[in-house]
Amino acid sequence: MRFTFKYFLLSALCFAFVHSKAQNDSILIKQALIDTSHVKPIPITLVCSATSFSKKRFALVAATEAGLYAGSLIGLNELWYKDYPRSSMHSFDDNAEWLQVDKVGHLTTSYYIGRVGTQLYKWSGIKRKKAIWYGGMLGSVYQSTIEVLDGYSSEWGFSWGDFAANTAGSLLCIGQELAWNEQRIVLKFSFMQSEYSKFRPDVLGKNLQENILKDYNGQTYWLSVNPASFMSHETRFPKWLNIAVGYGADGMTGGNFNPPYTDEEGFQIYHERYRQYYLSFDVDLTRIKTTSKFLKTIFYSIGYLKIPAPALEFSEKGVKGSLLGF
């Protein structure tokens, strides 16, 4: 089994890089005395697009990507792979594990790396379609590299299900950029600590930080749609308000099945595994109007998190409501 922490690593680094570029971009524009009044702004964009190709910007983006790529893979090898024996290249079928919550995690991570990559390539001045395709595929390329590393590990193997999810996440980002030049359908993440980590802390995490990354019971992934972006510009529907559909699962202490667990009194504890579906409101922070560059950076950086809001949960156990669906 594999956990999502290694995939969130590059995402966090990419967001940090976007933050630094957002702060420096206005300085670069002022120094170059560029008149951008004739340039139509791109929706949901933190990093300003260059009006022409810039070798310096592209070199900076390429060098940063190469550094992050190499550094993260070296770190993964030290923290993850070196403790397990190597093997010849092989694949394995993990599509049934964790009720596919991990697959949605792959899709979401690939999507967000693609969003960051697209904006960075636009910032460097690469032509629009090339920036979208090259930047949008970064998540899939990066995670596929990790799949290859898994393929040479005796503990795991190359997962075609993960590969498909990685590709789907990239294509969701690319398709929207090509069709609308913005992201109207956004993937988001939320977490609520579950009760199951105490039964298998080595697998599900020993503390909150590990739980967030390892405990699939607490993870929920959301498809957050912005209705106003599909309406006329004059609509009074709040442009920041989204409708979100979520997916999660509960009762899992193992990938394919729950190992037997006996408490201190000798009683066996059984957990029922089941899927959960959600319907809720959400906020697209990047569509909130503000002139503050600091707030824009914050809104963009945490935009992948689902905002707590009233929600309905649908599962085999029935329907229940929550004031703060997260």
Instruction: Indicate whether 271 and 220 sit together in one domain.
Output: yes
DSSP count for the chain of H helices, then E strands = 9, 8
pLDDT in tens, 125-152: 999 999 999 999 999 999 989 899 899 9
Residue ending a domain, choose from 160, 181, 202:
181
Instruction: Indicate whether 88 and 173 sit together in one domain.
Output: yes
pLDDT of residue 219: 96
Residues written for the chain: 326
Instruction: Indicate whether 84 and 155 sit together in one domain.
Output: yes
Instruction: Indicate whether 143 and 188 sit together in one domain.
Output: no
Sign of the torsion angle spanned by Cα atoms 251, 257, 263, 269: positive
- Strand duo 309-315 + 274-283: pairing: antiparallel
Average pLDDT, the chain: 84
What the block records as the tokens of 154 is 């005796």
Secondary structure E strands in 122-240 = 185-191, 219-225
Whether the pLDDT of residue 231 is over 90: the answer is yes
Whether the pLDDT of residue 8 is over 80: the answer is no
What the block records as the tokens of 92 is 């394995």
Show Cβ contacts of residue 113 under 8 Å, excluding neighbours closer than 6 positions.
Answer: 10, 11, 14, 138, 139, 142, 143
Show Cβ contacts of residue 177 under 8 Å, excluding neighbours closer than 6 positions.
Answer: 118, 132, 136, 183
pLDDT of residue 162: 95
pLDDT of residue 19: 45
Instruction: Indicate whether 21 and 157 sit together in one domain.
Output: yes
DSSP output for 66-111: HHHHHHHHHHHIIIIITTS-B-SS-B---TTGGGGHHHHHHHHHHH
Q: How far apart are the first and last CA of the chain?
A: 26
Q: How far apart, in whole angstroms, are the C-alpha atoms of residue 8 and residue 53?
A: 30
Instruction: Indicate whether 129 and 7 sit together in one domain.
Output: yes
pLDDT in tens, 15-59: 444 444 443 443 333 333 333 334 334 444 445 565 688 889 989
Instruction: Indicate whether 161 and 209 sit together in one domain.
Output: no
Residue ending a domain, choose from 154, 181, 208:
181
How sure is the predictor about 267, in pLDDT bands with cuts at 50, 70 and 90?
Answer: confident
pLDDT of residue 97: 95
Sign of the torsion angle spanned by Cα atoms 64, 65, 70, 72: positive
Residue ending a domain, choose from 134, 155, 181:
181
Instruction: Indicate whether 27 and 153 sit together in one domain.
Output: yes
What the block records as the tokens of 267 is 């009683």
Q: What values do phi and psi take at 188, rounded to 5?
A: -135, 170
pLDDT in tens, 272-315: 999 999 999 999 999 999 999 899 889 988 889 999 999 999 99
How sure is the predictor about 204, in pLDDT bands with cuts at 50, 70 and 90?
Answer: very high
How sure is the predictor about 82, in pLDDT bands with cuts at 50, 70 and 90?
Answer: confident
pLDDT of residue 32: 35
Identify the domain containing residue 39 by its residue range. Answer: 1-181
pLDDT of residue 325: 66
- Strand duo 241-250 + 309-315: pairing: unpaired
Instruction: Indicate whether 195 and 275 sit together in one domain.
Output: yes
Other CB atoms closer than 10 Å to residue 206's CB: what's the count? 12
Amino acid at 161: G
Burial 264-301, CB ≥16 within 10 A → b, else e:
eeeeeeebebeebebbbbbbbbbbeeeeeeeebbebbb
The domain tally of the chain equals 2
Instruction: Indicate whether 173 and 31 sit together in one domain.
Output: yes
Secondary structure E strands in the chain = 185-191, 219-225, 241-250, 261-262, 268-269, 274-283, 309-315, 318-325
What the block records as the tokens of 259 is 């190992």
Instruction: Indicate whether 133 and 278 sit together in one domain.
Output: no
pLDDT of residue 78: 77
How sure is the predictor about 155, in pLDDT bands with cuts at 50, 70 and 90?
Answer: confident
Instruction: Indicate whether 216 and 200 sit together in one domain.
Output: yes
Whether the pLDDT of residue 167 is over 70: the answer is yes
pLDDT of residue 22: 40
What the block records as the tokens of 36 is 């951008």
What the block records as the tokens of 319 is 């329907």
